[in-house]
Amino acid sequence: MADLHFDRKMSDAEGLMWRLEKDPHLSSTFANVTVLDKSPNFDVFLRRMERATYAVPRLRQRVQPAPANLSAPMWVDDSNFDLRYHVRHLALPKPGTMRQLLDLASLIACDAFDRTRPLWQFVVVDGLRGGKSALIQKMHHTIVDGEGGVQLSLQFLDFDRDVVEPEPIDPDLIAAAAEAATHEGPSPDLWRDLVTGSLRMPIGLLKQIKELLHDPTGIPDAGSAAADTVRGVMQQLGDTEGAHSPLWTHRSLQRRMEVLRAPFGDTRAAAKRLGGTLNTAFLACAAEAAGRYHRDMGSPVELLRSSMAISTRTEKSGANAFSLARMMVPTGDMPIADRFAAIQAAAGAAKEASATASLETLAAVAATLPTSLITRLARQQAQTVDFATSNVRGAPVPMYVAGAQLLENYPVGPLGGVAFNLTLLSYNHSLDMGVNIDTAAVTEPTLLHDCLVRAFKDLLAA
């Protein structure tokens, strides 16, 4: 975990994600469904996870909100931590189909966390057809983002099936964790220091921002850093045009998960032939599938708005390092090369636009607003987006967990108020994709799955 560091205090963006969950439609929980070639040794897995909770103290910590929301929440040690609560073991009933597994994973991912406990849960699932098993990993976004989650998984994954278990946990480490857990809350002095030093922006800059927001007529002529910040924020929040789909107009808490795979090498080669990157190919296929779904349903649409998660991770990044970009993508009937070129241009422009108002900047401004207002603003912004995408890099070689090999590795991204989220995780020469679907919006989820499969086949044949 050398590439990740975990602060006691949430960042502004993490604090924003935590507060937004007052509205269940805006949950930031994500999950992963991993298919294994056999049942892992559960006792070994428990020992590995126990070790992981000492190596990554965040796994033993719960959230403690700041008084009156004057600062981002704090992470404090959970004196009632129970590994068996977070690591569970069950079996599917016969016949143990993939559909049963995905339906179970959707239920687990949708089930709200107990906010008085650490925000993660792993479930080993036996009984999958063919003697296979699965591991469902569920984690709150405030703990770590997708790429950070891949790094965290190295605490319990191996590069060989038969490996020697690590040395027992250092007793001093256990004693230190137990001592820390006896002091769950920060001291009043620490709270005071955190609150007075909590704002990521200088007080003078925040004062200027407040004045400009109070009198927006002065924004065009202002030339300060405050004006640049406000312009970026206003550009993000000022876009209130509704999502473009004539079909995906309803939102609910009803979920269904679909999965698909594409070959890594062939897809990357196809993207290169078309003059772009694998990420552009991924977005182009998502747009093609969304457009084809509408055509098959008798409601063709020329443009839809997509959001895209962009990693901003560096060597000094914390648990979360990403921003969100929104873009209009062409969804009419057109050659794949034309769609690819249009999306490559749109993605480039969206990245530049998102840089003027990063997630941290938006979160720092939002920290000064009441929770009821920011949830209303977030829902308003979610209503401008049709679907979401995210691309996470995983291991390029086979991995193992407690003696079982990972065969397939499907991510489940948060919906955040959109019709569906398509998330890609590369693993062992494959692109494994999970589609998290709001079935009140996408009433024919199997059709959407089929459209995605056809879109990737068309890309490879281009």
- Among 387, 377, 373, which Cα is nearest to 441's? 387
Question: b/e per residue, 152-175, with b = 16+ CB within 10 A?
Answer: bbebbbbeeeeeeeeeeeeeeeee
- Among 231, 282, 291, 305, which Cα is nearest to 391's? 282
Per-residue pLDDT of 430-462, as tens digits, reads 999 999 999 999 999 999 999 999 999 999 998
H helices within 393-444, ranges in order? none
Beta bridge partners of 124: 89, 135
Planar angle of CA 53, 21, 315, nearest 5 degrees: 50
Asked if residue 456 lies in contact with residue 260, where contact means CB atoms within 8 angstroms, the answer is: yes
Q: Whole-prediction pTM value?
A: 0.83
Per-residue pLDDT of 139-196, as tens digits, reads 998 887 666 677 778 888 999 999 877 777 777 767 666 666 565 555 555 444 444 4
The whole-angstrom separation of Cα 271 and Cα 336 is: 11
The whole-angstrom separation of Cα 52 and Cα 358 is: 32
Between residues 6 and 393, which one has the greater pLDDT?
Answer: 393
- Among 65, 23, 61, 419, which Cα is nearest to 250's? 419
Q: Which two tokens stand for residue 230?
A: 């406000």
**Share above pLDDT 90 across residues of the chain, in percent, rounded to a whole number:** 56
Banded model confidence at residue 59, pLDDT cuts 50, 70, 90: very high
DSSP string, 124-171: EEEEETTTEEEEEEEE-TTT--HHHHHHHHTTT-BSSSS-PPPPPPPH
- Among 376, 310, 423, which Cα is nearest to 31's? 423
Q: Which residues contact 268 (CB under 8 A, 6 or more apart)?
A: 278, 281
Output the average pLDDT for the chain.
Answer: 83
